[in-house]
């Protein structure tokens, strides 16, 4: 049986995390961004599992189930927000929602 | 009896506290009762105190009550203690009694004003401060009252604060009197350094024992005190604030800027007469300033259009007479004229206020006219006040007080022919401008119909003051007529006797001359403003009139000499190197601000990237530590 070293396992989890992060940063569609967040969450869960098996402790798996539950809750809230967003703005583009930016630099009038 | 003396200033102060803390909850009637009532009870107590004081004078010539120790630091000690002698009795009588009548009048005058409570609170505070000023037995407590009345004057001139011009007038009054107050404060320091006390009686004793007549110290001290008196009493060269102070409501002009506060300078000089007697130069300066002021202000009053400004210049001019009297050493005559002036000038201001209210805030006398028939009661009382102001012989109180001053300005030990000439010319101008005002305002054709007829609360104080303006002089007849000088006798243990050094010409001659001058002044006013006779004045009269109208251009002069240079220097100062440092700090933070605001671009993914980089950064540090 091929033994997979812990470094490889951690590298796998880190790769998963970076993929999720890159997806989050380059995607403009909010649905894909949410999915990328899920990938990142899974990579974090992956680390728990790896740590649990490495030290032969059940805590890692317990934590993973915990993360899974939270992720499910988070997705439901996130999807509800996305629905509302689409309902209000008729778009799924995250960049289109930029009302919070500093439109007028008032501090320039200080002098 | 002493404790009643403490109640005199305490009652208006309590009134002020009640009104300012709870006044907005109370009904308007109740506020009026508190506002006028506190001063009224004070007046009643003063009346009882005064009768007792005059019928059985205390052995020392004064009543004093020490309330508590106020300041005690090293050698310096000041008590809150009050002293009543015949000089302060005259003042507290005028303050509470005339003050009460003006409060009564104000109830009707201010009845529709939204600042009703505020008005009465300030007025009560004013009465209380003024009473402390004249009852204080040391100069520190007096200075408290002195600043208190200055504050109330500021608050009440700017009472209708929504008009920016009123705020300007209030600030002008405050700043100009502050110039005088600074001089006075330096005078107090000088006196304290010299004698180690500021108790007035002790100070006067020490001064007369230790200082020689005419030496530097008394001259310096009295000149500094005179500075304070000039500012407060609006005398040359600090007179410019009083005409603008007419921005306040008419009762304020009557109480503060005619009857009481502006005569605080007269009180100060009379109170410290020992110092002024030790400094003959300064005393002569008082007389000369008084004589000049009465002429300058009199000519200005001659050309004004605004009813209240005429009265304001007239007040400056009449206080000039008081200074003239004090300067020539006729102390009791000066104080007597103060009392009579308080009666008739308060009356004139209140009557003018009634006219202005009746004509919808119309101040210009040329848009009045014919009010004799439409406002007969106001006309009669105004006429009584005007007769007293122009010193109509025999029947008015103003004659008895002003005539005394004119006589002493020649005959007293400090008097001279020039001072008398200034006084008599002033008397002519006074009669002329007073009856110019009467004829234009009350005679001729009706220009505006009155929309409001003053009720009982306004007419009653006017009537009482009118009676006092006419009959008040009979307590002090000229010495050449009869031995009836009640006023002089009652103040003679406080104020030095007036020394008459010249007898070559009898007093009767002076009286006949001044009577003639006054009547010819009224006659000239009759010709010019009642008959409206066209007189071909020389061309330069217009320019001269314009010059007088602007108050002898004192405002422009001060603007050019003081205000403009200060503004110019501060314009330059705006760019000095210290400012560069602080402006540099400001621009650096502005640059940071701009850089940081660029980051807030509204792009969600940028924020995410920033968070990721930040976390990576923190983790790197955490791992490497």
Q: Which of A25, A99, A105 sits opposite B597 (nearest CB)?
A: A105
- Position B282 in a domain: no
Task: Classify the C-alpha dihedral B621-B622-B623-B625 as positive or negative.
Answer: positive
B300: its two tokens: 């200005």
Q: Which of B315, B489, B513 is nearest to B417 (CA)?
A: B513
Q: Per-residue pLDDT for B593 more than 80?
A: yes
Asked if A107 lies within 8 A of B601 by C-beta distance, the reply is no
- Position B586 in a domain: yes
Q: Work out how many domains chain A is built from and give that number.
A: 1
- Position A74 in a domain: yes
- Position A109 in a domain: no
Asked if A97 lies within 8 A of B604 by C-beta distance, the reply is yes
- CB neighbour class for B265 (10 Å; exposed up to 12, middle 13-18, buried from 19): buried
- CB neighbour class for B572 (10 Å; exposed up to 12, middle 13-18, buried from 19): exposed
φ, ψ of residue A27 in degrees (nearest 5): -80, 140
Beta bridge pairs of residue B83: B64
Output the furthest CA–CA distance in chain B (Å, rounded).
113
Residue in this structure with the two tokens 């650096």, named with its chain if needed:
B588
Q: Which of A28, A98, A108 sits opposite B594 (nearest CB)?
A: A108
Maximum average pLDDT range among B48-62, B346-360, B573-587 = B346-360
Range of the domain at A85: 6-94
- Position A31 in a domain: yes
pLDDT tens figures, B283-316: 999 999 999 999 999 999 888 888 899 999 999 9
pLDDT tier at A108, thresholds 50, 70, 90: very low
Of B61-75, B478-492, B580-594, B601-615, least confident by mean pLDDT is B478-492
Q: Is the ipTM of this complex over 0.85?
A: no
φ, ψ of residue B145 in degrees (nearest 5): -60, -40
Closest-CA distance of chain B to residue A59, Å: 24
pLDDT tens figures, B432-441: 999 998 888 8
pLDDT of residue B540: 78
| Arithmetic mean of pLDDT, B503-527 | 86
pLDDT of residue A107: 44
Closest-CA distance of chain B to residue A16, Å: 15
A63 touches chain B (CB under 8 A): no
- DSSP classification of residue B448: S
Q: Work out how many domains chain B is built from and give that number.
A: 1
| Arithmetic mean of pLDDT, B1-13 | 86
Asked if A107 lies within 8 A of B597 by C-beta distance, the reply is yes
Of A17-31, A95-109, B251-265, least confident by mean pLDDT is A95-109
| Arithmetic mean of pLDDT, A36-45 | 92
- Chain A residues in contact with B608 by the CB 8 A cut-off are 24-25
A22 touches chain B (CB under 8 A): no
- Chain B residues in contact with A43 by the CB 8 A cut-off are none
Task: Classify the C-alpha dihedral B21-B22-B28-B33 as positive or negative.
Answer: negative
A109 touches chain B (CB under 8 A): no
Closest-CA distance of chain A to residue B549, Å: 44
Strand pairing report for B63-73 and B76-84:
antiparallel
* 3-state SS assignment for residue B532: coil
Q: Per-residue pLDDT for A12 more than 60?
A: yes
- DSSP classification of residue B77: E
Q: Which of A94, A107, A108 sits opposite B604 (nearest CB)?
A: A94
pLDDT of residue A1: 65
- Position B497 in a domain: no
pLDDT of residue B475: 79
Closest-CA distance of chain B to residue A94, Å: 7
- Position B612 in a domain: yes
Q: Which residues contact B537 (CB under 8 A, 6 or more apart)?
A: none
Closest-CA distance of chain A to residue B570, Å: 19
Mean pLDDT of chain B: 87
| Arithmetic mean of pLDDT, B564-580 | 84
- Position B582 in a domain: yes
**Can you state the percent helix, strand and coil of chain A, rounding each to 5?**
75, 0, 20
CATH code, domain with A19: 1.10.287.3510
Residue in this structure with the two tokens 């008005």, named with its chain if needed:
B119
Distance between CA atoms of residues B345 and B537, nearest Å:
31
Asked if A24 lies within 8 A of B604 by C-beta distance, the reply is no
pLDDT tens figures, B16-58: 999 888 877 778 888 888 889 999 999 999 999 888 888 877 7
A111 touches chain B (CB under 8 A): yes
- Position A111 in a domain: no
Residue in this structure with the two tokens 């008196």, named with its chain if needed:
B229
- Chain B residues in contact with A97 by the CB 8 A cut-off are 602, 604
Output B534 or B563, whichever has higher pLDDT: B563
Range of the domain at B595: 575-624
Size of interface A-B (CB pairs under 8 A): 42
pTM above the 0.80 mark? Answer: no
Distance between CA atoms of residues B325 and B329, nearest Å:
6
- Position A76 in a domain: yes
- Position A110 in a domain: no
Q: Which residues contact B111 (CB under 8 A, 6 or more apart)?
A: B28
| Arithmetic mean of pLDDT, B423-439 | 91
pLDDT tier at A102, thresholds 50, 70, 90: low
Q: Per-residue pLDDT for B443 more than 60?
A: yes
pLDDT of residue A52: 92
pLDDT tens figures, B207-248: 888 888 888 888 999 999 999 999 999 888 888 899 888 888
- Position A52 in a domain: yes
Distance between CA atoms of residues B384 and B466, nearest Å:
6
- Position A25 in a domain: yes
Output B490 or A69, whichever has higher pLDDT: A69
Q: Yes or no: say if B438 and B392 are a contact pair by the CB < 8 Å rule.
A: no
User: Up-side HSE of residue B539: CA atoms within 13 Å toward CB?
Assistant: 0
Of B154-168, B517-531, B540-554, least confident by mean pLDDT is B540-554
Asked if A111 lies within 8 A of B586 by C-beta distance, the reply is yes
- DSSP classification of residue B209: H
């Amino acid at each position: 049986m091929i033994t997979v070293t812990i470094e490889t396992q951690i590298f796998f989890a880190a790769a998963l995390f970076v993929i999720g992060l890159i997806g989050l940063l380059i995607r403009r569609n909010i649905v894909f961004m949410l999915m990328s967040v899920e990938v990142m969450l899974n990579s974090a869960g992956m680390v728990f599992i790896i740590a649990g098996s490495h030290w032969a402790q059940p805590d890692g798996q317990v934590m993973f189930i915990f993360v899974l539950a939270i992720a499910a809750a988070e997705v439901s809230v996130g999807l509800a927000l996305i629905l509302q967003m689409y309902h209000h703005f008729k778009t799924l583009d995250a960049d289109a929602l930029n009302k919070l930016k500093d439109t007028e630099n008032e501090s320039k009038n200080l002098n | 009896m002493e404790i009643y003396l403490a109640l005199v200033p305490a009652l208006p102060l309590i009134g002020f506290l009640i009104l300012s803390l709870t006044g907005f909850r109370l009904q308007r009637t109740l506020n009026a009762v508190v506002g006028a009532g506190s001063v009224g009870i004070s007046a009643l107590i003063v009346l009882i105190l005064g009768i007792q004081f005059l019928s059985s004078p205390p052995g020392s010539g004064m009543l004093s009550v020490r309330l508590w120790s106020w300041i005690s630091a090293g050698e310096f000690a000041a008590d809150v203690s009050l002293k009543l002698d015949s000089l302060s009795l005259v003042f507290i009588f005028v303050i509470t009694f005339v003050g009460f009548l003006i409060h009564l009048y104000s109830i009707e005058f201010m009845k529709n004003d939204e600042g009703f409570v505020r008005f009465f609170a300030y007025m009560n505070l004013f009465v209380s401060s003024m009473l402390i000023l004249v009852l204080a037995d040391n100069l520190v407590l007096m200075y408290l009252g002195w600043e208190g009345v200055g504050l109330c004057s500021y608050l009440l001139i700017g009472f209708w604060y929504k008009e920016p011009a009123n705020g300007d007038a209030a600030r002008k009054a405050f700043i100009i009197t502050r110039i005088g107050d600074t001089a006075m404060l330096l005078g107090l320091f000088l006196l304290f350094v010299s004698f180690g006390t500021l108790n007035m009686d002790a100070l006067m004793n020490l001064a007369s024992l230790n200082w020689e007549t005419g030496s530097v110290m008394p001259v310096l001290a009295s000149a500094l005190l005179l500075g304070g008196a000039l500012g407060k009493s609006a005398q040359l060269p600090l007179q410019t604030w009083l005409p603008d102070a007419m921005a306040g409501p008419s009762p304020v002009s009557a109480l503060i800027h005619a009857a009481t506060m502006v005569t605080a300078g007269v009180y100060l000089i009379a109170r410290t007469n020992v110092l002024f007697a030790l400094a003959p130069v300064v005393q002569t300066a008082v007389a000369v300033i008084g004589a000049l002021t009465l002429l300058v202000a009199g000519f200005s009053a001659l050309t004004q259009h605004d009813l209240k400004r005429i009265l304001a210049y007239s007040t400056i001019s009449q206080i000039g007479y008081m200074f003239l009297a004090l300067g020539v050493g006729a102390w009791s005559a000066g104080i007597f004229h103060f009392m009579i002036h308080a009666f008739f000038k308060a009356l004139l201001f209140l009557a003018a206020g009634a006219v202005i209210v009746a004509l919808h805030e119309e101040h210009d006398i040329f848009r009045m006219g014919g009010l004799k028939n439409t406002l007969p009661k106001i006309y009669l009382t105004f006429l009584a006040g005007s007769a007293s102001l122009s010193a109509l012989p025999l029947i008015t109180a103003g004659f008895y007080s002003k005539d005394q001053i004119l006589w002493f300005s020649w005959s007293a030990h400090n008097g001279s022919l020039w001072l008398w000439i200034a006084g008599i010319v002033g008397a002519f101008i006074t009669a002329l401008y007073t009856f110019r005002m009467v004829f234009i305002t009350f005679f001729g054709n009706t220009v505006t119909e009155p929309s409001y007829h003053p009720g009982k609360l306004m007419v009653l104080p006017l009537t009482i003051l009118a009676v006092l303006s006419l009959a008040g002089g009979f307590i002090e007849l000229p010495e050449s007529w009869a031995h009836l000088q009640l006023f002089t006798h009652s103040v003679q243990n406080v104020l030095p006797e007036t020394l008459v050094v010249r007898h070559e010409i009898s007093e009767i001659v002076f009286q006949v001359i001044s009577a003639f001058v006054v009547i010819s002044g009224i006659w000239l006013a009759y010709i010019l403003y009642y008959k409206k006779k066209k007189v071909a004045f020389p061309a330069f009269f217009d320019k001269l009139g314009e010059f007088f109208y602007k108050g002898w251009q004192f405002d422009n002069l001060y603007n050019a000499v003081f205000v403009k240079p200060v503004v110019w220097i501060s314009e330059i100062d705006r760019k000095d190197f210290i400012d560069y440092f602080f402006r540099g700090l400001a621009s650096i933070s502005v640059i940071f601000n701009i850089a940081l605001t660029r980051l807030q671009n509204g792009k969600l993914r940028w924020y995410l990237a920033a968070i990721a980089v930040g976390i990576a950064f923190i983790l790197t540090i955490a791992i490497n530590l």
